[in-house]
Amino acid sequence: MTSLPAPGGPVVDDLGSTVPLGPRPVRRVVSLVPSLTEAVAATADGLLVGATDWCDHPAGLAVTRIGGTKNPDVARIVALAPDLVIANAEENRRPDLDALRAAGLPVWVTDIRTLDQALRSLDRLLTVACGLPRPPWLDAAGAAWAALAEVRPLPGAGRRAVVPIWRRPWMVLGHDTFAGDLLRRLGLRLPHAEDPDRPERYPAVPLPELLATRPDLVVLPDEPYRFTAADGPEAFPGIPAGLVIGRHLTWYGPSLAQAPAVLARQLGAGVE
């Protein structure tokens, strides 16, 4: 475990980068990731002063909007004078983060590809970077997934699942993804995460190749592509389709506490 310096000194984020937080407490945070926005808002009401246009949880969040995850308005963020900017290695572009650092802002980057990483990363973000008490929802999330591990049979029961995340072209979950780790914990097998000839995290795979894997289930989240009962299942005739809420599949935050039950219910309600 990384040793921590005295309060107010520099600390290290998930990528091993030193984050100069300064001597004063963190009182103003800008979030560049919707799931991190929800995590901070659920832990310390009023700490956030800026968030992306896509940050829609919690509902009614009244903060300055600073653009998207891939195109944040650096000048607007700087004008907010945050004590800390929080980001994610997958969601945000390095040039944007470098520009924020060059403007003198501390930037904390998370790197989350498994549930275990999520629980550790969120704890450090909230308690070390933001200086907050460990929130009860984080313990509830760990307990919910630990309870799922004791369930037999698991909700997925070894079914082979194709998990598109985009259409035109078709893209699916591959190796080393947070969502893939959650689905495996539910008992599903993901052929494109197990294929050594496809090392990509989100490979583009033509529809005939997806069908050729002979999946038992197709999992269709409502983000980043918004799959619906009328847009997605028709491409996989005869294969049950599980329509799932993307927030419970891809977000790391308070939704993790409800995710095992919600995903199990939605995957078990597949429609042909």
> Domains of the chain: which residue ranges?
11-134, 161-267
Residue 2 tokens read as 């990384």
Ranking 7-11, 33-37, 80-84 by mean pLDDT, the lowest is: 7-11
Helix (H, G, I), strand (E, B) or coil at 254: helix
The confidence band for 269, taking pLDDT boundaries of 50, 70 and 90, is low
What span, in angstroms and rounded, lies between the C-alpha atoms of 53 and 212?
38
Q: What is the mean pLDDT of residues 166-193?
A: 96
Phi, then psi, of 27 in degrees rounded to 5:
-120, -15
Contact 223, 197 (CB under 8 A): no
What is the mean pLDDT of the segment spanning 229-233? Answer: 97
Find the DSSP H helices in the chain: 34-43, 74-79, 94-102, 115-124, 136-149, 178-185, 191-194, 207-212, 246-250, 259-267
Residue 10 has pLDDT above 80, yes or no: no
Provide the mean pLDDT of the chain.
92
pLDDT tier for residue 5 given thresholds of 50, 70 and 90: very low
CATH class of the domain comprising 11-134: alpha beta
Q: What is the pLDDT of residues 237-257, one digit of tens each?
A: 999 999 999 999 999 999 999
Question: Do 161-267 and 11-134 fall under one CATH topology?
Answer: yes
The fold of the 161-267 domain, in CATH, is Rossmann fold (3.40.50)
Pairwise pLDDT comparison (192 vs 270), residue with the higher score: 192
- With residues binned 3-state (H G I as helix, E B as strand, rest as coil), the percentages for the chain, rounded to 5, are 35, 15, 50
**CB-facing half-sphere around the CA of 64: CA atoms within 13 A:** 18
For residue 172, which phi and psi values (nearest 5 degrees)?
-130, 165
pLDDT at 156: 86
Summarize pLDDT for 28-57 with one digit per residue, the tens.
Answer: 999 999 999 999 999 998 999 999 999 999
3-state secondary structure of 241: strand
- pTM surpassing 0.95? no
Mean pLDDT across 85-114: 97
3-state secondary structure (DSSP) of residue 69: coil
The sign one gets for the Cα dihedral 192, 193, 199, 202 is positive
The whole-number average pLDDT for the span 180-201 is: 92
